[in-house]
Chain A
Amino acid sequence: MGDVLRIDRIRCDGYGMCAELLPEHIALDDWGYPIFRSGPIPHRLVPLARRAVEVCPVLALSLVRERAHPSSDH
C-alpha cells in the first residue's frame, strides 16, 4: 500500500516537468518521456509528487492510492 503515480501515456507529451520536481523518482528517456521508479512514492516525497501532478501541462499524471489489481483482459 502507498501512493503511486499513474500516467496516461497517450496524453503525456514529454514536457518533463515531473522529472524536474521529482528526480528521485522520475527519470527521462532520450526523448524526454518519463521513466518511473517502481513501487510507491516514499512518504516524504508525496508533497512533491502532488506538485508534479498539478504542474503537468497536459494533466497526464495522477496520484492514486495503490490497490490490488489482479484482473487482466488477456
Chain B
Amino acid sequence: MAPAATADRLLAGPQFSAGAESFAEHRARLGPLPIADARNGLIDTIERSGLLGRGGAGFPVGRKWRSVGARSGGRAAVVANGAEGEPRSAKDRSLMTLRPHLVIDGAILAAAAVGADDVVLYVGMEHRAAVDALVRAVAERPLGGGPPLRIVEAPMGYIAGESSAMVHYLEARDARPMAVPPRPHERGLGGRPTLIQNVESLAAAALIARHGDEWFRATGRDLTPGTALVTVTGPVAGTGVREIEYGTTLRELVDAAGGLTAATDAVLLGGYFGGWAATEGRWDEPLDPASLSSRGLGFGCGMVAFLPADACGVWATSRIMEYMAGESARQCGPCIFGLGAISGALRRLATGAHHDGDLADVTRWAGQIAGRGACHHPDGAAGLLQSGLRVFADEFALHERTHGCSRPTAAARRV
C-alpha cells in the first residue's frame, strides 16, 4: 500500500507498516470520545460540515442522521457498512485494518447522535485483516458506556453491501435486496429505523466530532469539503489506497502516486457504479463529487482505475459487464435477462464472434434497464455500459465492422 498523500486525516497516525493502531495509541493521538456532545448537537455539526457519504452514492451524512434520529425513539440501529464488495476497491478494508478505532468511534457517535442501542459492524468476510483488526479493536475498548458492538461478516458478493440486502442478511441470512419501500432508515433491523453508513463516512464523522465542522471545511479545494480515500490502480507506480483532498486533480493524484508507468487513454472513475472517462483533457479537472457529476461522471467509491493504452476498452467493458451480470441477485427479470444478454453480446463483440445487430441491441438495452430492479444494481450496470459505449465508441465500431481489434495482442486483454 502507498503511504498517504499530503492530506492525512483519516489515515493520519502510525506508519501503515505498523498495522492496526491500538486503542492506547488512538486515544493518545485523538483524545477521548466526545460522547456527551454526540447526544447534543453532533447532527448539526455534521450537517454544517457538508460531509458526504463515502459508500458511493454521496448522500449528505448529516441529513441521513437527522432522518433516522427523528424516527428513532432511542431504539434505532446503526450498521457500519464495511462490506466493500467493489472488486478493485480497497479503501474501506484498508481503513478498517489500519484505523479500526476511528471506524468504531464513528459508529458509537452515530448511535449516540441518532438514538440507537444496536451497533453492527458489517465487514466483508473476505477482508480477513479488517475482520481481525476490528475483533481485536472491539476487545480493546473499555466496557460499559456505549451500546453493544456486534461484528457480522458479510457474505461474498457485490450485492451484499446494498442496504436492503444487508438488512435482509442481518435478519434472515439472505443477502438479496428486498422490494422497497420501506427503506431501512424507516424500518430496518428488527423493524427499527436503521442508519446504514459506510465505514469511511463514520471515520470522517468521528474526526468532525472532535475537531469541528470548520476544521473539516478547511480542506477541499473545489466544491466539496473534506478529504476522501481513493483506490488507484492501473499503470501507476504507487498503486493502492491514498487519501486526497477533494478537488485534487487527476494529474496531482498520479504524481503523488509516483507517476504513470505506461500510457493511458481512459480511466474508470467511481468503480462499477461509476463510469469510464477519456483521460484526454481531464488531467487538470478536479476530483470532486459535485464537479464530476456536473460533467456526467461520478466520484462514487473513490476508484481511479487507469486503463493502459494498449488494452482494449471493449474487452475491459465486456469483462465488467460479465461480472455485473454474474453478481445479479437474480430476482428481477430486467436484471437477470437484460444483464445476461448484454454480457453475452459484449463478449461476442469483444472477441469478434458477434452477430449482426449485437451492437445495436446492446445500445438499446443499455437505455432500458435502469430503474427496473428492486435495487440499483441494474442502474449502475447501465451507467457503466453507457460510459463504455461512449468512451470506446470508435473501438466498438471497429470491432463491429472488422470482427477484430485495433490492439490485437495478449496485452489488450489483460484487464
Contact = CB atoms under 8 A, between A and B. Distances in A.
Interface in A32-74: 32-33, 35, 71-74
A1 interface: no
Interface residues of A, number: 17
A29 B185 contact: no
B59 A33 contact: no
The secondary-structure label for the interface of chain B is loop
A33 B337 contact: yes
Given A9-B333, A31-B333, A32-B333, 11 more contacts: A8-B179, A9-B374, A11-B179, A12-B333, A31-B334, A31-B337, A72-B183, A73-B59, A74-B57, A74-B58, A74-B163
Contacts of B179: 8-11
B55 A74 contact: yes
B308 interface: no
Contacts of A13: 333
B40 interface: no
Interface of B: 53, 55-59, 64, 67, 163, 177-180, 183-186, 196, 331-334, 337-338, 341, 365, 368, 372-374
A12 to B, nearest CB: 6
B372 A33 contact: yes
Given A71-B183, A73-B183, A73-B196, A10 B332 contact: yes
Contacts of B178: 10
Contacts of B180: 73
A30 B341 contact: yes
Contacts of A11: 179
Nearest to B185: A73
19 contacts: A8-B374, A9-B179, A9-B334, A9-B372, A10-B178, A10-B332, A10-B374, A13-B333, A29-B368, A30-B337, A31-B337, A35-B368, A35-B372, A71-B186, A73-B163, A73-B184, A73-B196, A74-B57, A74-B163
Interface in A1-35: 8-14, 29-33, 35
